[in-house]
Chain A
Amino acid sequence: MINNDSKVLLEVKNLKAEVAGVEILKGVDLTVRAGEVHAIMGVNGSGKSTFSKVLAGHPDYTVKGGTAALDGKDLFSLAAEERARAGLFLAFQYPVEIPGVSNNALLRLAYNTLQNERGLEELDPLEFEDLVQEKIKVVEMDPSFLDRSVNEGFSGGEKKRNEILQMAILEPKLAILDETDSGLDIDALRIVANGVNSLLTPDNAVVMVTHYQRLLNYIVPDYVHVMDSGRIVKTGGKELALELEARGYDWVRAAA
């Protein structure tokens, strides 16, 4: 929901970044306010996923210029785990498998780390169980998933739902969903989208990175941005996504 009086959660200015010496982001500007849903669209290689990884602090990417602030904090002065604790969440395009580490143990450690950061009490396993059983309903997952190793042997849809479960537990200020719709069948897409929608509040915000309009039927964006060659070249409302679906990207790129 657009409310120009609400506070700015993410402020990115003229962001430039490279990977392995190749410049990918060439000056990205983006402002996200509390309560908003943004979609970043674009063709393969336009820099969408790079943008999300740079914000989250992936070690392969080097920031070459510009600034990014999360709720007023300079992101680039923080290590990746500090950014996460400050309230930045990235739902991965390809969630990794972690054999031997149970979902439940991971969730509890992540949650308690955050509780410490906020100066709140850690939850013991029994208390945490109550919390996680409540949250798991958000993504309609079977509780048996909690005892399994993180993502090991999960289907594509289960992995993505697991990402949203982590988001539900950690309640980030800003969640970036990196191609969360890829590899999802229509039922899984609906579940994931319902999960995300149920987590939206006037105090947090979501940035979706996606190729396709499909996801946006379920999670309706306030703003749609088109990224091309490392820059945001066009911004519009949700109808822009429909236009892209109908006409492709070329006309936007030509105009840029």
Chain B
Amino acid sequence: MTSAIQNLVNQPYKHGFVTDIETEAVPKGLNEDVIRLISKKKNEPEWLLEFRLSAYRHWLTMEEPSWASVVYPKIDFQDIIYFAQPKPKKKLASMDEVDPELKRTFEKLGVPLHEQKIMAGVAVDVIFDSVSVTTTYKAKLAEVGIIFCSFSEAVHEHPELVKKYLGSVVPSGDNFYAALNSAVFTDGSFCFIPKGVKCPMDLSTYFRINTEGSGQFERTLIVAEEGASVSYLEGCTAPQFDTNQLHAAVVELVALDNAYIKYSTVQNWYAGDENGKGGIFNFVTKRGLCKGVNSKISWTQVETGSAITWKYPSCVLLGDNSIGEFYSVALTNHLQQADTGTKMIHLGKNTRSRIISKGISAGRSSNSYRGLVKVGGRATGARNYSQCDSMLIGGSCAANTFPTIDVQNSTAQVEHEASTSKIGEDQMFFFAQRGIDSEEAVSMIINGFCKDVFVHLPMEFAVEATKLLGLKLEGSVG
């Protein structure tokens, strides 16, 4: 039976193919000249170059963080290609002009843009090796005043907005990887929902790392003005290479009075092979600022890939009565390591936060939840509820929970619950004795374990997440 479980968890990665498109890369390594070159290639204004350079200078003074419960060889930051973009570079007016090879790649990934456009009604901003290839539904969104475009485009067309909010949630010197990103980020997504507008559709972006040895440093900035709301979906896959690839993104969310931002991620970067060779190092800084009163930011993530995940989508609850939520499923298998969780920083009065974290460990992997709930002195009436559940599959994996609670206001209420369970032989035998095969049994257990999180995913993502966990652990999730 144990070997049955092993067979189930050893499904190969299905997105491991390389698209043969000519890419134009800046030489390996990082220095001020490389940064100037990136900025120049992207035809950026002076203030942005200054932002990059000051981040870079700050980064030089910083130490790579070592507090996370992950182990990996030292990264040589001079051995990374910081900028690669597919040729040809001519402007694309419609989807038809997109390189057919590229389109096939997305089809293999199961992201048929045409169908997605029409059937799902999802506007997709596709990032392919750092350059936004196409943005759909832009015109339709523009009718209601929503800006949804690549970051580079936003820099040129809405510089005042970018300048106002860039780095306002994650300062350029926030942490080692955020500083690196601020220095070398190549593209990403920008989304602006003006006052009182409810975004009529889910906004979606697919990230993919294609060039071997290239780092991907995107930057996402989402601003919801007073009374605005938006649901944003981020999906990630990467082809398989034997070398490790670095992914250090920064995501900033800003919610003004009565605004609501829902940010959902399904992450399926290549995780390395079963012996831990290759795979993505995913060192990401994601943070949302509930700046206005009654604002709300909700993070939902399903993390199934990457060799190493280092990621703590956080909420700073500054506005009175603001709400932060974090719903997470993190699955690790083989030699994957995940150190993920959230930070809820309560600053305003009557702020509320809710954390539901589900960690699933299989193989020889290590899965850690790390969370901080902080209640400031002025956050009268703040409340937090945290629930961290771990599930172990087999006997060689590890699950850890590192909750930190820091309360400086005596009226605050903070609750933390944790549990650990195991898919054991007895459960598998029970299912078998009821005529249910092991694949369906595992999927039923996993699905049950994750349902508190899945209910918060938008419909099409819930389906995808369910499929992904199925792919990673067995055949299906019903």
Contact = CB atoms under 8 A, between A and B. Distances in A.
Interface string B433-463: 1111110100011011111000000000000
Contact of B433 (A90, A98, A101, A149): A90
Interface string A102-130: 10011001100110010000000000000
Interface string B34-51: 000000000000000000
B157 interface: no
Interface string A60-99: 1000000000000000000111001100011010011011
Interface string B420-444: 0100111101111111111010001
A80 B429 contact: yes
A101 B444 contact: yes
Contacts of A84: 432-435
Contacts of B1: 59
A109 B476 CA distance: 13
B478 interface: yes
Contacts of A57: 432-433
A96 B427 contact: yes
Given A59-B1, A59-B425, A96-B426, A101 B432 contact: no
B429 to A, nearest CB: 6
Contact of A56 (B425, B433, B447): B433
A100 interface: yes
Q: Give the interface residue-count category, chain A.
A: 20 to 34
A107 B127 CA distance: 45
A151 to B, nearest CB: 9
B166 to A, nearest CB: 42
Contacts of B430: 92, 95-96, 98
Given A80-B429, A84-B432, A100 B449 contact: yes
A58 B429 contact: yes
A113 B436 CA distance: 7
Nearest to A172: B435
A80 to B, nearest CB: 4
A6 B111 CA distance: 60
A50 interface: no
A74 to B, nearest CB: 18
Contacts of A60: 425
Nearest to B446: A100
Contacts of B438: 81
A207 to B, nearest CB: 15
A166 interface: yes
Given A96-B426, A101-B444, A109 B436 contact: yes
Nearest to A86: B435
A95 B447 CA distance: 21
A110 B434 contact: yes
Nearest to A116: B435
Contact of A59 (B429, B431, B440, B449): B429
**B-side binding surface: helix, strand, loop or mixed?**
helix
Nearest to B1: A59
Nearest to B3: A59
A98 B441 CA distance: 10
A149 B450 CA distance: 14
Nearest to B478: A109
A125 B436 CA distance: 18
A170 interface: yes
Contacts of B431: 81
A89 B437 CA distance: 15
A98 B427 contact: yes
B451 A80 contact: no
Contacts of A101: 444-445, 448
A113 B448 contact: no
Contacts of A110: 434-436
Contacts of A102: 448
A92 B1 CA distance: 18
B425 A81 contact: no
Contacts of A59: 1-2, 425, 429
A99 B432 contact: no
Contacts of A96: 424, 426-427, 430
Nearest to A150: B430
Nearest to B425: A59
Nearest to A109: B436
Contacts of B448: 98-102, 105, 149
Contacts of A56: 429, 433
A11 B433 CA distance: 19
Nearest to A102: B448
Nearest to A56: B433
Contacts of B427: 96, 98
B429 A109 contact: no
Contact of B432 (A79, A106, A166): A79
Interface string B228-240: 0000000000000
Contacts of B444: 101, 105-106, 109
B454 to A, nearest CB: 11
Contacts of A117: 435
Contacts of A98: 427, 430, 445, 448
Contacts of A149: 448
Given A59-B1, A99-B421, A109 B440 contact: yes
29 contacts: A57-B433, A58-B429, A59-B1, A59-B2, A59-B425, A80-B429, A80-B432, A81-B437, A84-B432, A89-B433, A92-B430, A92-B433, A96-B424, A96-B426, A99-B421, A99-B449, A100-B451, A101-B444, A101-B445, A102-B448, A105-B448, A106-B436, A106-B444, A110-B435, A110-B436, A117-B435, A149-B448, A170-B434, A170-B435
Interface of A: 56-60, 79-81, 84-85, 89-90, 92, 95-96, 98-102, 105-106, 109-110, 113-114, 117, 149, 166, 170
Given A92-B430, A99-B449, 20 more contacts: A59-B1, A59-B2, A80-B432, A81-B438, A84-B434, A84-B435, A90-B433, A92-B433, A96-B427, A100-B445, A100-B447, A100-B448, A100-B451, A106-B436, A109-B440, A109-B444, A110-B434, A113-B440, A114-B435, A170-B434
